[in-house]
Amino acid sequence: MCAVTSREADTPTPAEIAKAFAEGRPDSLSDAYQRWSTMIFTLALRALGNRADAEDVTQQVFVSAWRGRANFDPDSGQLGAWLTGITRHRIADRLTARSRELRNSEAAAKLAEERPASVVDDRTVDRVVIADELARLGDPRRTILRLAFYEDLTHPQIAEQLDLPLGTVKSHIRRGLLHLRGQLKEVTGDDTSR
């Protein structure tokens, strides 16, 4: 007759783990993990080829299994087989996510290739220079230009709002634009008089 060690006697059988798991006993999750985590990790690693992804999938399988333990019936099947089914779903989810990430990366790279960076940089420089030069203008010219270009008011609306003659508003806008064009030409080196 073979002597049973105390460690073997303390280790629950797969059927005992399954029954305790279905009943929601907290120690059964640990027992299930000890019993089947290596198998689940190996399946995930073979399918995904990435250790970090396989570790994530293994963790997700046990979290999903514990949360969905009410759906497991130990009389209908083995816990190991049920966990394997969950593993297949989590692997498929991870492969789908990888595919989506790859498509997004390719789309971003294509978009970056299509849009030259210098165009964005030139526009940014122009905006900064214009905002800086507007801040340096004295009133009422600064206010008139802001109302015209940031608030989209017409010349008559500006004249009415500021209680100024329409001709004065038009003069300030023209002189302000000439000033801004000159400053922009100095900063960028472009000939904006074209």
Span 187-191, mean pLDDT?
Answer: 60
Span 88-96, mean pLDDT?
Answer: 94
pLDDT digits (tens, 9 = 90+) for 125-155: 667 777 777 777 777 888 888 888 777 888 8
- Region of poorest pLDDT, from 87-101, 162-176, 177-191: 177-191
Q: Is residue 60 part of a domain?
A: yes
| Enclosing domain of residue 125 | 117-188
Do 110 and 125 fall within a single domain? no
Do 131 and 161 fall within a single domain? yes
Span 51-76, mean pLDDT?
Answer: 93
Secondary structure in 3-state letters for 70-95 = HHCCCCCCCHHHHHHHHHHHHHHHHH
pTM > 0.85: no
Q: Which of 95, 114, 133 is the last residue of a domain?
A: 114
Side-chain half-sphere of 87: how many Cα atoms within 13 Å? 23
Do 27 and 80 fall within a single domain? yes
Do 78 and 124 fall within a single domain? no
CB 80 within 8 A of CB 21: no
Q: Is residue 16 part of a domain?
A: yes
